[in-house]
Amino acid sequence: MADTATTASAAAASAANTSTDAPPFQLGKPRFQQTSFYGRLRHFLDIIDPRTLFVTERRLREAVQLLEDYKHGTLHPGVTNEQLWSAQKIKQAILHPDTNEKIFMPFRMSGYIPFGTPIVVGLLLPNQTLASTVFWQWLNQSHNACVNYANRNATKPSPASKFIQGYLGAVISAVSIAVGLNVLVQKANKFTPATRLLVQRFVPFPAVGRLSCRHAPGSSSPCKALCAWQLSAWPCRWPSASSRRCQRLRHPS
């Protein structure tokens, strides 16, 4: 342990150089201070940064090797804190923390906005038919389930039946709420056509929001409802080795 601490300290000393904007590098720790809202916001934006989607295989290997060199105290002279933080950001954005395997691009946290935005647009399309409502709700819940599964805790495998059960529950619930509300709005005779169209625009929100606050076994996070509004703990890898700041783990019920 003493040798490991010595090599890490030496690596940190080597990295502390002319990089004045970047804080001293800490392996496995957030770059930005988590004691302030601004720091947590910057950490959140760093996690969902879509630029990491364009990182090449060569750049990924270089980032992983740089972190290995830091870990073993064999950094080359001139490596900056900025380079180390960038390498850690790339590795955490692309590789699963438990398996070290690449996460499929649409299911990475950095891909949640570019791949999720078209689905949101589809959910909000006006004058939807029954088929289109079912399709967009199914696609949204399928995307969420795949993101959860791709970022699952691989150190504690869960049976596939649990995941399938949670996925089917989420899809059925979302579709039922969306279709049910659409039918109610269409049958509301007191609404003018303009009001009915306006209300229908908001139908996807309760359908999606209800599922975001619900723990579907195997597919959604046991701590998702707890920390969904806390930038210090969301998004996390629901949960995995990287979620050491999980509020549920700190304060078990």
* Per-residue burial over 67-79, b = 16 or more CB atoms within 10 Å of its CB, e = otherwise: bebbeebebeeeb
pLDDT for 59 equals: 96
- What's the start-to-end Cα distance of the chain, in Å? 34
Q: What is the pTM of this model?
A: 0.69
Average pLDDT (170-193) is 82
95 SS3 class = strand
Q: Which residue has the higher pLDDT, 159 or 93?
A: 93
The closest alpha carbon to 92, from 246, 245, 250, 240, belongs to 240
**How many CA atoms does the CB half-sphere of 30 hold within 13 Å?**
22
The total of other beta-carbon atoms located within 10 Å of residue 104's CB is: 11
Instruction: Tell me the C-alpha distance between 28 and 15, whole Å.
Output: 15
Q: Can you tell me the mean pLDDT for 233-243?
A: 41
**Rg of the chain in Å (alpha carbons):** 22
Place of tokens 């949204």: 140
In this predicted structure, what is the pLDDT of residue 189? 73
Q: Do the beta carbons of residue 240 and residue 98 sit within 8 Å?
A: yes
Q: Token pair 């303009």 is at which residue? A: 194
Inform me whether the pLDDT recorded for 170 exceeds 90. no
Contact 53, 60 (CB under 8 A): no
pLDDT band at residue 86 under the 50/70/90 scheme: very high
